[in-house]
Amino acid sequence: MRKLFQNGKIAFAALCLLGVAVGLSGCGKNEKIVIGAQTFTEAKILAEMYRALIEDRTDANAVVIPDLASSPLVVSAIKRGDLDVATLYSGEIFNNHFPIVDTRDREAVLQQAKEGFDRYFGFKWFDPLGYENTYAFSVRKEVAAKRGYRNISDVKPDADSMRLGVDTTWLERPSDGYPAFTKHYGFTFGSTFPMELALVYSAVAHEQVDIVLAYSTDSRLKAYDLTTLEDDKRFFPPFDASTVMRKDTIEKYPGAEAALSELIGTLNVDTMIDLNYQVDIEKKSEREVALAYLRKVGLLKE
Amino acid sequence: MTDIWNFLQSRMPDLLTALREHLVISFSSILLGSLIAIPLGIALVYNRIRWLNTVIFFIANLMQTVPSLALLAVLIPLLGIGIKPAIFALLLYSIMPILRNTYDGFHAVDRHVLESARGMGYSTMQRIFTIQLPLSLPYIMSGIRITTVYIISWATLASLIGAGGIGQLIISGMGVNKPELVFAGAIGAIALAFIADWLLGLLEKWLSGKFGRMGGAEA
């Protein structure tokens, strides 16, 4: 009898687990606008802004799914309909999504992103939010001062002995990655360490690498006292941040599109660095920072 | 299909480098993990201070739960970047399963066998090496085999800290929308795990044959 009772308990526990699993998988089916965000802070802050605006201006509910590993992952998730909204950068067109004309012109890249993602993916690519988050070669401030580095070209004589820390994708990127960089600037680095972007800053600050390829809006550039070198030979393509939304979702929730459009052109690089700083260094939550900002600029009422 | 073939051919050196890095990292951490965890497990079996066992198992369990990125971030000032912190992190992850299996394996040895060995005048060291170790070998080896397969999959964390490996193929392939890179990485990891498990199976057979005879002859 006791045995039977125990089996009963196990069966009950299993049923509970099953229930939880079914409940969880059911979540995706709810009528909600799903906002995706990549692993870095800025994407998560913006996602919280989108959520706040959508919930304030419309009756729809929104959820944020953070920490998506890469931008192509975000693109395919939107295409599948797993996500409705996300932030992407115009340079995304260099990731083999569709045929492109190779150019460094800011307007032309943006135009190709808008048209290409509309035509091949059914996304609406909004006008830019107002800032760019591009690659930025950065060194420790005292190294820049001692060696007189101001431009990327200045590094050339020492590059052979330099250790480069980069994110996990740059070495592989086809038209704006390492192989293309080598051709464009005419030098290679002594050794390369592809690693998680979040660790790149600490690695250069602790002198584990000599130069890193940072993201230009990252607050840790400031926090770790790094100097960014000028891209004097115009190698890196533009990376204007834009909100992206599924066209199906727009048809269903026109109000949400209008709400998100209010953010167009409202941000700039310094604001973004500051918002990132509040999360990465001051350890506030992304939601808190997003709401405070929207209230400050009057997009949300107090 | 020809695309994949062309891709494999053009990137073969990179794929082999990644495989080699992955192998070195996984193998070193398993080896070091075993060298720490097996003796520690044996020591815990003979340890009379109960609370110490609890504390050590607690710490070993705790290490399993530390998120890898957090661990690697903490390790940068101490071990820098590259292969060292990767091996160290994986080594910490490998300790618990090997320790637990060694400990349980020693406890599973029939008490009567040990009592009679003691009666025949076996010293503690003799009991460990000629009776308990051979008899608990299946436990220990299964601990190592399970851990090896896990570590080969976890060693993808090496790509977070600049140590390369198969994870680098997978993560960068995801980042730049090259599914063939992800595919090559995944196949490589699966193949490594299978081969490693198979080799360890052979090792287990060989060891049990060797120790089995030895134990049989002396007991």
CATH number at residue A81: 3.40.190.10
Q: What is the CATH classification number for the domain harbouring B209?
A: 1.10.3720.10
Final residue of a domain: which of A228, A250, A282?
Answer: A228
Q: Quote the minimal CA–CA distance from B82 to chain A in Å.
A: 7
Assess whether A101 and A56 both reside in one domain: yes
Q: Does any CB of chain B come closer than 8 Å to the CB of residue A167?
A: yes
Assess whether A161 and A94 both reside in one domain: no
Q: What is the mean pLDDT of chain B?
A: 90
* Joined tokens for residue A298: 């009057």
A4 within domain boundaries: no
Q: Give B-chain residues touching A95 at CB under 8 angstroms.
A: 176-177
pLDDT (0 to 100) of residue A21? 56
Domain that holds residue A64: 31-133+238-296
- A1 pLDDT band, cuts 50/70/90, is very low
Final residue of a domain: which of A228, A246, A280?
Answer: A228
A20 within domain boundaries: no
- A19 pLDDT band, cuts 50/70/90, is low
Q: Does any CB of chain B come closer than 8 Å to the CB of residue A243?
A: no
Average pLDDT over residues B161-186: 90
Assess whether A251 and A197 both reside in one domain: no
Q: Does any CB of chain B come closer than 8 Å to the CB of residue A143?
A: no
What is the count of structural domains for chain A?
Answer: 2
A207 within domain boundaries: yes
Higher pLDDT, A31 or B130: B130
Assess whether A250 and A113 both reside in one domain: yes
Assess whether A45 and A73 both reside in one domain: yes
Answer for the pair A87, A49: CB distance below 8 angstroms, yes or no: no
Higher pLDDT, A148 or A22: A148
Assess whether A120 and A245 both reside in one domain: yes
Assess whether A155 and A213 both reside in one domain: yes
Assess whether A264 and A292 both reside in one domain: yes
- Which residue in B68, B83, B157, B172 has the most chain A C-beta atoms within 10 A of its own C-beta, making it the best mutation to test that interface? B172
pLDDT (0 to 100) of residue B81? 93
In chain B, the residue whose alpha carbon lies closest to the alpha carbon of A196 is B160
Q: Does any CB of chain B come closer than 8 Å to the CB of residue A77?
A: no
Answer for the pair A179, A94: CB distance below 8 angstroms, yes or no: no
pLDDT (0 to 100) of residue A29? 44
The tens digit of pLDDT for each residue in A136-178 reads 999 999 999 999 999 999 999 999 999 999 999 999 888 899 9
Assess whether A122 and A255 both reside in one domain: yes
pLDDT (0 to 100) of residue B215? 46
In this structure, what DSSP letter does residue A186 have?
A: S
What percent of chain A clears pLDDT 90, i.e. is strictly above it? 83
A2 within domain boundaries: no
Assess whether A37 and A79 both reside in one domain: yes
Assess whether A152 and A94 both reside in one domain: no
d(C-alpha A29, C-alpha A83), whole Å: 12
Answer for the pair B215, B129: CB distance below 8 angstroms, yes or no: no
* Residue A27 pLDDT > 50: no
pTM: 0.81
Assess whether A112 and A199 both reside in one domain: no
* Residue B19 pLDDT > 80: yes
- B8 pLDDT band, cuts 50/70/90, is confident
pLDDT (0 to 100) of residue A31? 77
The tens digit of pLDDT for each residue in A62-120 reads 999 999 988 999 999 999 999 999 999 999 999 889 999 989 999 999 999 999 999 99
Final residue of a domain: which of A185, A209, A228?
Answer: A228
Domain that holds residue B84: 2-218
The tens digit of pLDDT for each residue in B54-109 reads 999 999 999 989 999 899 999 999 999 999 999 999 999 999 999 999 999 999 99
Tell me which long-range contacts A88-92 makes (C-beta under 8 A, separation of at least 24): A88/A113, A88/A117, A88/A125, A88/A241, A88/A242, A88/A244, A89/A132, A89/A133, A89/A239, A89/A240, A89/A241, A89/A242, A90/A128, A90/A237, A90/A238, A90/A239, A90/A240, A90/A242, A91/A134, A91/A176, A91/A236, A91/A237, A91/A238, A91/A239
Q: What is the CATH classification number for the domain harbouring A174?
A: 3.40.190.120
The tens digit of pLDDT for each residue in B30-62 reads 999 999 999 999 999 999 899 999 999 999 999
Q: Quote the minimal CA–CA distance from B156 to chain A in Å.
A: 11
What is the count of structural domains for chain B?
Answer: 1
A8 within domain boundaries: no
pLDDT (0 to 100) of residue B216? 43
Q: Kindly determine whether residue A206 and residue B80, on different chains, have CB atoms separated by under 8 Å.
A: yes
pLDDT (0 to 100) of residue B1? 64
The ipTM of this complex is 0.79
What SS3 class is residue A242?
strand
